[in-house]
Amino acid sequence: MPTYISKLLSRLKHPNPLRPQHTPHRWTQPAYGKQIQFAPLPDNSQKLDKTGIKYVQSTAGSLLYYSRAVDPTMLPALNDISTSQAAPTVETKNKIQWLLDFVATYANATIRYCKSDMILYVESDAAYLVMPNAKSRYAGHFYLSNKANPSLSRPSRNGPIPTECKTIRNVVASAAQAETAGIFNNSQIAIPIRRALEALGHPQLPTPIKTDNTTAHSFVHANIRKKRSKTWDMRYNWLRDRAAKRELYIYWDKGVNNDADHFTKHHSPTHHRAEHKKFILKGFHLSQYNGVRVTSILHSIVDAALVTCQSNARVC
């Protein structure tokens, strides 16, 4: 969508940032040695008038459409903004301005999809107590790849299809419960996609769903001694039923290998710059700083790669 962001910034009269903004949101600086974790203070800044409310809601809606289409990396920021867009404040508008600086830096995000066996893979993650009112956030990274044993070798990456980043509606009692809720919600989305692929003539193995939480993994496979798991919602037992029917295959892997982690937390600029290329072609970095447009060298590199991709499918 090469002109979508430029037209949006022009309509909103948002100036280009003086320096690149590599994160769509503010991030939390780690406080090493801190023993007590305090919840963030409530937003007591001034509420916006009707014009400000319309500005926040229209901008968030426009960016949500763009993020679902080509740039899912801004979904955590939009999920954070959505909690207050019904009654936005000055702080909400500041978050919108920060996000617009980010999309001005990465103004032409592009996703590449490569040929594969059309096997559905899901990576699930959750962040505990990161939303207002003690809510938690879950994310799901869905993509199609070749047949592989996920417990032995990681399938080759491909462009993401639906990328989920949503708030868990109920207040969960533990990080393991949040992770299980994330697996449950992502599995609910995976089942219709799986059936659509089968109807299109692409037979599916039990859909692999990756989690980095050992308690959630053991809960699904009934490998733990239950004491307090009755406090978990009964619908989570649906996961055991689907696993027994071999529609889902839920397995554990290290957190560094879980791409869904990128969509659950507010990471630092260093992390974003390192992880951004996993989801978006980094060559399309179209921004203006002080009237200088940086495109020619990057475009030539990407164009050469696309020509090679078209001539040789294996290289792609």
Domains of the chain: 4-109 (no CATH), 119-260 (3.30.420.10)
- Which residues 6+ apart lie within 8 Å of 54 measured at CB? none
Distance between CA atoms of 27 and 133, rounded to whole angstroms?
Answer: 19
Q: Which helix (H) or strand (E) holds 193?
A: helix 175-199
> What's 89's DSSP letter?
B
Please give the mean pLDDT across all residues of the chain: 84
Residue 152: predicted pLDDT: 60
**Positive or negative torsion for Cα 5, 57, 276, 305:** negative
**Cα Rg of the chain, angstroms:** 21
Distance between CA atoms of 39 and 44, rounded to whole angstroms?
Answer: 15
3 state SS for 15-73: CCCCCCCCCCCCCCCCCCCCCCCCCCCCCCCCECCHHHHHHHHHHHHHHHHHHHHCCHH
pLDDT in tens, 286-314: 333 333 333 444 444 445 555 445 445 44
pLDDT in tens, 99-155: 999 999 998 888 889 999 999 999 999 999 999 889 999 999 999 999 877 656 678
- Which residues 6+ apart lie within 8 Å of 53 measured at CB? 87, 88
Q: CA separation (Å) from 184 to 124, 155, 209?
A: 9, 22, 10
pTM above 0.75, yes or no: yes
Residue 41: predicted pLDDT: 79
